[in-house]
Amino acid sequence: MLVSREFEFDAAHKLINYRGKCEKLHGHRWKVRVTVKAPLKEDGLSFDFIKLKEIVEEKVIKKLDHSYLNELLPQPSTENIAIWIWEKLKKLPLYEVKVWESPATSVTYRGSE
């Protein structure tokens, strides 16, 4: 079973060595979907949504929300943010992390394959 939970956070960043609008300081309302893969257990659940929410909020969202992402990552591209989130949650049975920087643009990361 694949179990997912979505989250949002607000943060600012600028892209280093990039030419275009995103080289300047700007912010986004980011959206993140964390998906875990777990077998269906006898109780009819595979992974508790509440447990997933608690873990992601503690390890990821509290650190990213209303932050300046360049203080966490040297190049806070959407791709690098997805990898950073994966690393923070790697003790979970992760399947994928998806990060949107706008409603029309996103990155999906499934670990180093």
The residues that are catalytic are: 22, 66, 101
60 phi/psi in degrees, rounded to 5: -125, -65
